[in-house]
């Protein structure tokens, strides 16, 4: 099936959804309305580009009819319009081909990110705080909202682990390739001999699960109240407002301690639990198409070493695509768009290759 044939089918679906969204029966069904609106929004960029393609194609056809005009000036204008339109069509087809690729249904969602110190002790915990700062600064620059959910700090200001949510349209699409092991090579702040150490930090990026996607039986949850963990001193929470949830069927444990009330912490802990259960559900589905996963930029496996931050050389290298950046300071200050864009481009190229 050609690209234009596919686009005709997409437009038919788009118009059908558009009609359904005006149906009182659909409007009264909130779940169905939300589902159709989400699909409608996803198809809109394709239809807008398709209609642009049709306009250019129509302009080329109209100009073609005037190429044999007896009016020399009109013939010259027609020739200019014809070749101008003809030159635009291949690029528009390429853009439409990319837009027609299967979309990640999670791309528009908020994300929950977990950063955990790995090998390297205190140095790993300090680098975990560097990554948290980097993602936070990137989020602020892109008008995403960052909300800490749970953290376990060290005496030197690092994080043994930290979990936080990033809210904003398209957050998952920008962060999804950050899952994996991040390796740092540098002289630690705790090292006086000037020797370069290698430490690791694990990052997990989970799309926020919607209620319609994950249902949790309240009977499957054990809720405990506890005091917030921290480095001591001013970090100690005197009240037991922190919440720990245990999901009995899977054994998953989540904690939230950043809010002042136990109710608010419970709500955020539930968000974390749903995201983890949704992640398990997705992994089970993608395991069924393992060969496709391996051909893409990254499997999302948290044990996969994805990136190295080499401080002495001022180089950040993503091992999945062999892409390096030599602006360490600005990168760690949140200027990571070039890396993200390169990963998205590589993933798109793989998908295009597989679609052939």
pLDDT tens figures, 278-295: 888 877 766 654 444 344
Report how far residue 143's alpha carbon sits from residue 125's, in angstroms, rounded to the nearest whole number.
27
Residue with tokens 């099936």: 1
Strands (E), 227-334: 242-247, 252-256, 305-310, 315-318, 323-325
pLDDT tens figures, 108-153: 889 999 999 998 889 999 999 999 999 999 999 999 999 998 899 9
192 has a pLDDT exceeding 90:
no
341 has a pLDDT exceeding 70:
yes
Higher-pLDDT residue of 291 and 270 is 270
Contact 210, 240 (CB under 8 A): no
Q: Kindly give the residue spans of alpha helices, DSSP state H, lying in 23-145.
A: 24-28, 30-65, 72-99, 122-141
Strands (E), 208-251: 221-226, 242-247
Contact 243, 266 (CB under 8 A): yes
pLDDT of res. 285 = 66
1 has a pLDDT exceeding 80:
no
Residues, the chain, total? Answer: 356
Q: Is 335 helix (H, G, I), strand (E, B) or coil?
A: coil
pLDDT bracket for residue 190 (50, 70, 90): low
pLDDT tens figures, 288-328: 544 443 444 554 455 679 999 999 999 999 999 999 999 99
Residue with tokens 């590589």: 346
Report how far residue 5's alpha carbon sits from residue 100's, in angstroms, rounded to the nearest whole number.
12
pLDDT bracket for residue 10 (50, 70, 90): very high
Strands (E), the chain: 111-117, 145-153, 159-167, 180-186, 197-207, 221-226, 242-247, 252-256, 305-310, 315-318, 323-325
| Secondary-structure class of domain 111-286+305-349 per CATH | alpha beta
Supply the pTM of this predicted model: 0.74
């Amino acid at each position: 099936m050609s690209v234009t044939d596919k686009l005709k089918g997409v437009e038919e679906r788009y118009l059908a959804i558009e009609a359904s969204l005006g149906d009182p029966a659909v409007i009264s069904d909130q779940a169905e309305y939300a589902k159709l609106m989400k699909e409608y929004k996803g198809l809109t960029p394709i239809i807008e580009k398709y209609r642009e393609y049709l306009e250019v194609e129509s302009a080329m056809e109209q100009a073609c009819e005037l190429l044999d005009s007896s009016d020399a000036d009109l013939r010259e204008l027609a020739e200019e319009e014809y070749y101008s339109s003809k030159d635009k069509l291949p690029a528009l087809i390429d853009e439409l081909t990319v837009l027609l690729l299967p979309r990640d249904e999670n791309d528009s969602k908020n994300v929950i990110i977990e950063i955990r110190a790995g090998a390297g002790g205190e140095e790993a915990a300090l680098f975990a705080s560097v990554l948290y700062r980097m993602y936070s600064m990137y989020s602020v620059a892109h008008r995403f909202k960052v909300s800490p959910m749970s953290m376990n700090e060290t005496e030197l200001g690092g994080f043994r682990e930290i979990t936080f949510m990033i809210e904003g349209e398209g957050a998952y699409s920008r962060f999804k390739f950050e899952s994996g092991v991040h390796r740092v090579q540098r002289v630690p702040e705790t090292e006086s001999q000037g020797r370069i150490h290698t430490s690791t930090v694990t990052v997990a990026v989970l799309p926020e699960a919607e209620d319609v996607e994950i249902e949790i039986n309240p009977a499957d949850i054990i809720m405990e109240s506890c005091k917030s963990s921290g480095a001591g001193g001013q970090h100690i929470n005197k009240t037991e407002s922190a919440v720990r949830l245990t999901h009995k069927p899977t054994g998953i444990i989540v904690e939230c301690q950043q809010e002042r009330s136990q109710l608010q912490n419970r709500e955020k802990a539930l968000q974390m639990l749903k995201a983890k259960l949704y992640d398990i559900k997705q992994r089970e589905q993608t395991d069924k198409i393992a060969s496709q996963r391996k051909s893409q930029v990254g499997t999302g496996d948290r044990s996969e070493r994805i990136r190295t931050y080499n401080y002495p050389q001022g180089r950040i290298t993503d091992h999945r695509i062999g892409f390096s950046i030599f602006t360490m300071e600005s990168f760690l200050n949140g200027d990571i768009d070039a890396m993200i864009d390169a990963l998205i481009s590589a993933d798109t190229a793989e998908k295009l290759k597989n679609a052939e």
